[in-house]
Amino acid sequence: MRRAVAILALAAIGVALLAGSVSAATSVAAKAQLRGHLQELGESPTLRYFQTALAYDKFRTDLGDANVFPPASSLFMSFDKELLVLYTRGNDTGGRCIGTQIAASFSGDTLSATASWQTGTCGAPSTAHYPFILLSLSRTATDGTSWLSSAQSVCLSVETQDTNACASLGNSPAPTTSLSPVPLTPTPQATATRSLTPTQTVPAASPTAAAGSAAPGATRSPAAAASPPVTASDNGSNILLYAMLVAIGFLVLLSLFLSRSGRRR
């Protein structure tokens, strides 16, 4: 009788642990590519994704005079192995920028990434308050699986829920946001400043500046600064696996012990 109870308990715990490991989030490596401030990207939190270099280069070209982004060939990534994501906070409080420590994980059908605030304006003027960050996500999770094939959406937030924005990974490459879309076409006579300062051995993009005469009361001061790649890792899955193996081993030993005790009686 005791042996049967032990075996049933072992089976129940094993099933519970396996179910937990299946539902657990799997970490995905993320690298910051560029960050800064740019008003032309919109007033509300938005998230855009680019699966090809062609799609990304078209987006940056369409920005016209407000383009502060490096070409695809100058990014610290490869589109055949990574997905490019552009997150914009929109109209912010100012005096801060998005940090380069990005944690990303995939669970269910959603890739969720989180970032933190960093004091300063990432090289932009002190009055800048439209922070953005351009980052790449590995197409393969840390456990070797390809999450992109089963993903429905990608989301990113900066510390609080009101900053959250998502993009749908449907058949159409055009992203959707959790809020109303914002036109990307910059207004005439916009002034944009680009300041790229990579800290890697990768060839650095030369600083450029595009200046125009702005109407009084409508001056803009966007700026961007490249950041070194940062890999977010998560050992939660390994710890869960070790705990599951230890629990199963203990229950097997307990079952054998109870079985031998029953036979001696």
pTM metric for this prediction: 0.61
pLDDT above 90: residue 5: no
Output the pLDDT for position 246.
80
* Beta-bridge partner residues of 168: 153
For the chain, the first-to-last Cα distance in angstroms comes to 13
Using alpha carbons only, what angle is made at residue 86 by residues 82 and 87, rounded to the nearest 5 degrees?
Answer: 130
Comparing CA positions, the residue from 107, 93, 109, 113 lying closest to residue 37 is 93
Query: Tens digits of per-residue pLDDT, 179-221?
Result: 333 333 333 333 333 433 343 434 444 444 333 433 344 444 4
Q: Is 178 helix (H, G, I), strand (E, B) or coil?
A: coil
Query: Tens digits of per-residue pLDDT, 80-90?
Result: 999 999 999 99
Query: Tens digits of per-residue pLDDT, 216-244?
Result: 444 444 566 654 444 444 455 566 677 77
Tell me the backbone φ, ψ of residue 212, rounded to 5 degrees. -150, 165
**Is the CA virtual torsion 215, 129, 83, 150 positive or negative?**
negative
Which residues, 6 or more positions from 86, have their beta carbon under 8 angstroms from its beta carbon?
Answer: 41, 47, 48, 49, 50, 59, 132, 133, 134
Cβ–Cβ contacts within 10 Å for residue 183, how many? 8
